[in-house]
Structure formats: C-alpha cells, structure tokens
C-alpha cells in the first residue's frame, strides 16, 4: 500500500515494466486516484497524512480475497494498524 501521489495498493515485484508503458497496475483508494479525482491529494492527506510512505503485506494476507464472490476489499487505516476486510456480492 503506497501513499504518495494518491493512495494505492499495488504488487511489488521484480520484473520489467509492461511493454505498453502503462506501469504497474494499482487499485486506488476511493477518492485518491489522481487520474480521476480532482481532490485526490486532499483525500490522500486525510487518509495517509502529509508524508509519503509504503506498507508492505505478505501475499498470504490477500489469499482469502481471491474468492470470486468478493466484490470489494476494504483497508481501514489508523495510526496504529491497517485492517483488511472484504465485502461479498449479495
């Protein structure tokens, strides 16, 4: 999870960038996508704070979220922890 020019979740891997120069795919927090949200930076500061940074998760943390019934992964961020939850289709 990265807080810099917005807030996003992306895979950190050692590989060459895609040939189409699109970069590493990322899922942005609601309201924090610089390509879509005019107030992305204000939202980033409200969620992440002024400083840039990253939090690293083991891949195993996300295995439960690979269930096709899950439609949303929710990260609750506080000064002391990041809690990952999910929401399934009704």
Indicate the SS3 state at residue 65. helix
Contact 41, 55 (CB under 8 A): no
Residue 10's contacts (CB-CB under 8 Å, 6 or more residues apart) are 2, 24, 25, 26, 27
Domain boundaries, the chain: 2-56, 64-90
| Total count of residues recorded for the chain | 90
| Choice between 37 and 68, residue whose per-residue pLDDT is larger | 37
Q: What is the pLDDT of residues 32-63, one digit of tens each?
A: 999 999 999 999 999 888 889 988 888 888 88
pLDDT of residue 17: 63
Put the strands of the sheet holding 6-10 in their side by side order.
26-28, 6-10, 2-4, 53-54
Query: What pTM did the predictor assign?
Result: 0.72
Of 19 and 31, more confident: 31
- pLDDT on residue 21: 61
The confidence score (pLDDT) of residue 35 equals: 92
């Amino acid at each position: 999870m990265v807080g810099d020019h917005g807030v996003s979740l992306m895979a950190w891997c050692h590989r060459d960038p895609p040939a189409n120069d699109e970069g590493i795919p990322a899922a942005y927090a609601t309201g924090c996508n610089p390509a879509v949200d005019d107030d992305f930076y204000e939202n980033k500061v409200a969620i992440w704070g002024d400083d840039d940074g990253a939090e690293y998760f083991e891949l195993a943390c996300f295995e439960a979220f690979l269930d096709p019934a899950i439609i949303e992964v929710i990260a609750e961020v506080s000064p002391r922890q990041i809690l990952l939850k999910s929401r399934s289709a009704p």
